[in-house]
Amino acid sequence: MRAEQVTDPLTDHGEGPVWSIRWGGLRWVDMLAGDVLSLDSDGRVIRRHVAAIAAAVRPRRQAGAVIGIERGFALEDADGVVTALDPVWSDPSIRMNEGACDPDGRFYCGSMAYDQRPGAATVHRLDPDRSVRPVLTGVTVSNGLDWSPDGALAYYNDTATHCIDVFDYDPVGGLTGRRRFVDLTTEDLRPDGLTVDAEGGVWVALSNGGAVRRYTPGGQLDGVLSLPARKVTACTFGGPALGQLFVTTSREGLGPGDDPLAGALFRADVGVAGQPVREFAG
């Protein structure tokens, strides 16, 4: 597997790539700038400011998007108008960080403290009726979340634990039975965003490891995509037949000239297809 550079290093903290036919392609965020970026058919990048923080974006079934913003959620309508919902919390030291939709059309977004203090964060769920509830507390750096092809399992990263966890999932009980899927502690690797392919393989971006790894549904390492940037943040499948892996990177905290390709978007043909993105039903 070889990665191809798609864009210049144009994000400070690129995150959360998502491919949707509703958008005609790829969107991702420059999180701390509060911008959503789109890649058009000619390879040009369109940047749009939506909030102080743009943590995660997913398509809505009725057109538009749902967006995780600094202290809650916002909805984009079919005309591109973004409306912030009521804040979920008031503490300015905590912000949203990453999210995804479950098989039943509910949007989850997890938070983190700006100083990354342990246990300060929560994963919240936005339901189609716009009600919000906490579903996971005591989190430190809430990150990647995605479901198995049959929707029965959800994989999740709290980056500070150095581990990938897996939950059982059903529409009523939600996320239950949390257990360890892969432990990266001995390698001192930090799992960031993740996506699950059509075969149930789990692709995990390593924020300090310069790579994306694929694990089998049984938790065995099955492949490594190396990137020419160290801070690899997230990945998603897109392109024709969802056969390409798109990968975001960050240059947050780096000095001028450090890690020169950090902040660029990359793409690779990885020999397996992804799943269509799950959409917000509200």
Region 256-278: mean pLDDT is 96
Give the list of residues 6+ apart from residue 185 with CB closer than 8 angstroms, or none. Answer: 162, 163
Q: Residue 42: is its pLDDT beyond 90? A: no
Give all strands of the β-sheet with 72-76 in edge-to-edge order: 54-59, 65-69, 72-76, 82-84
Q: What is the CATH number of the domain that holds 218?
A: 2.120.10.30
Which of 192, 222, 258, 269 does the annotation list as catalytic?
A: 192
Q: What is the mean pLDDT of the chain?
A: 97
Q: Residue 41: is its pLDDT beyond 90? A: no
Q: Residue 174: is its pLDDT beyond 90? A: yes
Q: Is residue 88 part of a domain?
A: yes
* Number of folded domains that form the chain: 1
Q: Is residue 117 part of a domain?
A: yes
Q: What percent of the chain has pLDDT over 90?
A: 95
Is the distance from CB of 235 to CB of 248 less than 8 angstroms?
yes
| Segments forming the whole domain that contains residue 124 | 14-235
Q: Is 259 a catalytic residue?
A: no
On whether the pTM is more than 0.95, the answer is yes
Q: Is residue 243 part of a domain?
A: no
Report pLDDT digits (tens) over 105-145: 999 999 999 999 999 999 999 999 999 999 999 999 999 99
Q: Is residue 254 part of a domain?
A: no
Region 22-38: mean pLDDT is 96
DSSP designation for 231? -
Report pLDDT digits (tens) over 54-89: 999 999 999 999 999 999 999 999 999 999 999 999
Report pLDDT digits (tens) over 3-13: 999 999 999 99
Q: Is residue 204 part of a domain?
A: yes
Question: Residue 218 — φ and ψ, nearest 5°?
Answer: -90, 0
Report pLDDT digits (tens) over 88-107: 999 999 999 999 999 999 99
Q: Is residue 7 part of a domain?
A: no
Is the distance from CB of 168 to CB of 179 less than 8 angstroms?
no
Q: Three-class SS of residue 70? A: coil
Q: Residue 47: is its pLDDT beyond 90? A: yes
Q: Residue 221: is its pLDDT beyond 90? A: yes
Q: Three-class SS of residue 209? A: coil
Report pLDDT digits (tens) over 223-249: 999 999 999 999 999 998 999 999 999
Is the distance from CB of 263 to CB of 45 less than 8 angstroms?
no
